[in-house]
Amino acid sequence: MVKICCIGAGYVGGPTMAMIALKCPNIQVVVVDISKPRIAAWNSDELPIYEPGLDAVVKACRGKNLFFSTDVEKHVAEADIVFVSVNTPTKTRGLGAGKAADLTYWESAARMIADVSKSDKIVVEKSTVPVKTAEAIEKILTHNKKGINFQILSNPEFLAEGTAIEDLAKPDRVLIGGRETPGGQKAVEALKAVYAHWVPEDRILTTNLWSAELSKLAANAFLAQRISSINAMSALCESTGADVSEVAYAVGKDSRIGPKFLNASVAFGGSCFQKDILNLVYICECNGLPEVAHYWKQVVQINDYQKTRFVKRVVSSMFNTVSGKKIAILGFAFKKDTGDTRETPAIDVCHGLLGDKAHLSIYDPQVTEDQIKRDLSMNKFDWDHPLHLQPQSPTAFKQVSVVWDAYEATKDAHGVCIITEWEEFKKLDYQRIYDNMQKPAFIFDGRNVLNVEELRKIGFIVYSIGKPLDP
Ligand code: NAD
């Protein structure tokens, strides 16, 4: 029986390994993590992450060929294939701070693999890493362990949170990069054989190592760029009377462009887009390509601009101050169908409004009060002063309450901001909400999910990203 071990039981390690276990009953999969609470949650009925369809997949194979454990070294030592899916956040200090990927977790995982290995292994980069990381990993593994054959593969993950199970079950492609040596190619074939259990052959792409590593950064940069492109257009729409949804529809009908990922919004968020673009910017700079670095930097800068623009619109619409006013924040997760708040635009919007002394009442169906307070205790990333993460003044928390119902959040509020596109926000009784709000009642739809005309008929003053302003 082939044995797989995955280091890192996070948003990627957990679901990807659960899918491999489901589709490959003849493979034993153990997901290991240094976080005891996370592993305990994977072994319980309350999984540590919310992802539609994940519970059923885990329940179908946990205890059969899928296991979660904190005994990292034992399971790594026993595995034939070791996936490494640890976090690779942006470095917060030292060389490259604010841009470069922090590979501390990766390096310690690689050193541990070298330490405990007694047999040949395929080591798979599942985390998103800078191009050429495999070269560094090879050095760590081979210099620390003589006589064992390690083959490094790059197999970046393209799943999107919120649709992870669907994406894993029917991926657009699986990408495997390996060394162009007989050993490297044998390893590529071994990993291909795992995915071939359910992924059609023409969707399994094989490339050299560096192409695979760079493709993941490139894919995220292209996706984020589309959002920044349509968001930049949304600003122009508001100034000219054009409607960004109509523009996006017309533009997306061009088969060379396509309709997906063209929704204007308050901004993109999540743990990956900004981090991976900053990483790309840093790699370009290190490779003497400042113009290319500048080009990609703009994608992040437009994203920041969009968040600032949204906050300014809220404040200016409400007679240039939100001081002492209650603002309901509906949605805190960075997108619907996830409880993940990493880099969510909600953080910057809340900081902006708190800065003008608003009182915030926050509701999200999947995000806990602890998460929200932890997120708001950090200040935002400032491009000119990389990652000065300072605790928020404790008094700011007196202005924040987290509630468990959208009607409670909006009761007596002066304004409502939609930050996450949760389906339930489309179905709320907006007449009831209007009746219970201060007047004039404002709605700021940061996701363009509400029916502007209907809201205006009720009596709301409505701002929707990139749409003609209230007559
Ligand atoms: P995560 O923070 O949810 O999970 C990482 C896990 O690794 C944590 O539970 C941590 O405790 C564990 N870990 C760290 N060092 C360890 C070690 N030495 N031994 C054992 N466990 C260790 O991160 P994530 O969202 O799953 O992302 C993982 C990687 O995948 C990142 O590089 C990310 O960029 C990439 N990625 C993420 C997504 C996404 O949507 N989240 C999508 C594609 C790729």
Pocket test for ligand 1, best of 11, 91, 157 (most atoms within 8 A of CB): 11
Q: Does 215 fall in a domain?
A: no
In this prediction, residue 395 carries a pLDDT of 52
Separation CA 35–CA 52 (nearest Å): 23
> Among 135, 170, 199, where does a domain finish?
199
Asked whether 342 and 269 are in contact (CB, 8 A), the reply is yes
In this prediction, residue 391 carries a pLDDT of 44
Q: Is the peptide bond before 156 cis (omega within 30 degrees of 0)?
A: no
Q: Whose CA is nearest to atom 10 of ligand 1?
A: 8
The predicted model gives 141-150 an average pLDDT of: 89
Among 20-34, 223-237, 389-403, the range scoring the smallest mean pLDDT is: 389-403
pLDDT single digits (tens) 345-361: 999 999 999 988 999 99
Please indicate, yes or no, whether residues 192 and 274 belong to a single structural domain of this protein: no
Which letter does DSSP use for residue 391 in this model?
Answer: B
Residue 284 is a catalytic residue: no
State yes or no: pLDDT of 466 exceeds 70.
yes
% of the chain surpassing 90 pLDDT: 91
Separation CA 202–CA 182 (nearest Å): 22
Instruction: Tell me how far CA of residue 449 lies from CA of 266, 305, 412, 445, in angstroms.
Output: 12, 21, 23, 7
pLDDT single digits (tens) 97-132: 999 999 999 999 999 999 999 999 999 999 999 999
Query: What is the secondary structure of 251-274 as a DSSP string?
Result: HHTSTTT-STT----S---SSSHH
Asked whether 127 and 84 are in contact (CB, 8 A), the reply is yes
Residue 364: CB partners within 8 Å, gap ≥ 6? 330, 331, 332, 333, 339, 372, 420, 422
Give the CATH number, domain containing residue 112.
3.40.50.720
With H, G, I as helix, E, B as strand and everything else as coil, classify residue 46: coil
Give the range of the structural domain holding residue 117, as residue numbers without chain letter: 2-199
Please indicate, yes or no, whether residues 164 and 57 belong to a single structural domain of this protein: yes
Please indicate, yes or no, whether residues 359 and 273 belong to a single structural domain of this protein: yes
Query: What is the secondary structure of 143-185 as a DSSP string?
Result: HH-TT--EEEEE------TTSHHHHHHS-S-EEEEE-SSHHHH
Please indicate, yes or no, whether residues 32 and 173 belong to a single structural domain of this protein: yes
In this prediction, residue 299 carries a pLDDT of 98
Mean pLDDT score of the chain, rounded to an integer? 94
Q: Does 155 fall in a domain?
A: yes
Instruction: For 21-120, list the strands marked E by DSSP.
Output: 27-32, 66-69, 81-84
Burial status of residue 76 (CB atoms within 10 A of its CB: 0-12, 13-18, 19 or more): buried
The predicted model gives 142-168 an average pLDDT of: 95
With H, G, I as helix, E, B as strand and everything else as coil, classify residue 311: helix
Q: Does 292 fall in a domain?
A: yes
Q: Does 313 fall in a domain?
A: yes
pLDDT single digits (tens) 57-87: 999 999 999 999 999 999 999 999 999 999 9
Asked whether 99 and 386 are in contact (CB, 8 A), the reply is yes
In this prediction, residue 390 carries a pLDDT of 43
The predicted model gives 146-173 an average pLDDT of: 97
Quick check: CB of 334 below 6 Å from ligand 1? Answer: no
pLDDT single digits (tens) 370-400: 899 888 886 543 433 333 334 445 455 678 9
% of the chain surpassing 70 pLDDT: 96
Separation CA 76–CA 239 (nearest Å): 57
First vs last C-alpha separation in the chain? 68
The predicted model gives 423-450 an average pLDDT of: 98
Q: How far does Cα 101 stand from its chain's mean position?
A: 15
Q: CA dihedral in degrees (300, 303, 305, 307; nearest 10)? A: -140
Tokens of 45: 């009925």
Q: How far is the CA of 127 from the centre of ligand 1 (A)?
A: 7
Please indicate, yes or no, whether residues 153 and 283 belong to a single structural domain of this protein: no
Order of strands, edge to edge, in the sheet holding 150-154?
66-69, 27-32, 2-7, 81-84, 121-125, 150-154, 174-178, 204-208
Q: How far is the CA of 134 from the centre of ligand 1 (A)?
A: 17
Task: Please state, as a whole number, how many other Cβ atoms lie within 10 Å of the Cβ of residue 315.
Answer: 21
Please indicate, yes or no, whether residues 166 and 263 belong to a single structural domain of this protein: no
Please indicate, yes or no, whether residues 385 and 448 belong to a single structural domain of this protein: yes
Give the ligand 1 atom nearest the CA of 164.
40
Please indicate, yes or no, whether residues 167 and 266 belong to a single structural domain of this protein: no
Give the ligand 1 atom nearest the CA of 271.
41
Tokens 């489901």 belong to residue: 22
In the chain, the number of structural domains is: 2
Q: Does 220 fall in a domain?
A: no
Please indicate, yes or no, whether residues 111 and 186 belong to a single structural domain of this protein: yes
Pocket test for ligand 1, best of 87, 123, 125, 175 (most atoms within 8 A of CB): 87
With H, G, I as helix, E, B as strand and everything else as coil, classify residue 68: strand
Quick check: CB of 35 below 6 Å from ligand 1? Answer: yes
Predicted TM-score (pTM) of the model is: 0.94
Quick check: CB of 49 below 6 Å from ligand 1? Answer: no
pLDDT single digits (tens) 287-315: 999 999 999 999 999 999 999 999 999 99
In this prediction, residue 144 carries a pLDDT of 84
Quick check: CB of 38 below 6 Å from ligand 1? Answer: yes
Which ipTM was obtained for this model?
0.99
Give the ligand 1 atom nearest the CA of 126.
30
Q: Does 341 fall in a domain?
A: yes
Q: Which of the pair, 211 or 398, is modelled with greater confidence?
A: 211
Please indicate, yes or no, whether residues 92 and 170 belong to a single structural domain of this protein: yes
Q: How far is the CA of 155 from the centre of ligand 1 (A)?
A: 14
Active-site residue, selected from the candidate residues 6, 24, 237, 272? 272
Q: Which helix (H) or strand (E) holds 121?
A: strand 121-125
Quick check: CB of 272 below 6 Å from ligand 1? Answer: yes
Instruction: Give the relative orientation of helices 104-116 and 133-144 as an angle to the nearest 10 degrees.
Output: 30
> Among 161, 180, 199, where does a domain finish?
199
> Among 159, 176, 199, where does a domain finish?
199
Q: Does 15 fall in a domain?
A: yes
Please indicate, yes or no, whether residues 283 and 420 belong to a single structural domain of this protein: yes
Please indicate, yes or no, whether residues 38 and 151 belong to a single structural domain of this protein: yes
Q: Does 224 fall in a domain?
A: no
Helices (H), 117-208: 133-144, 164-169, 182-195
With H, G, I as helix, E, B as strand and everything else as coil, classify residue 462: strand
In this prediction, residue 379 carries a pLDDT of 54
Tokens of 12: 């990627």
Q: How far is the CA of 164 from the centre of ligand 1 (A)?
A: 14
With H, G, I as helix, E, B as strand and everything else as coil, classify residue 112: helix
Tokens of 28: 């034993």
What are the φ and ψ backbone dihedral angles of 397, each rounded to 5 degrees?
-65, -25
Quick check: CB of 87 below 6 Å from ligand 1? Answer: yes
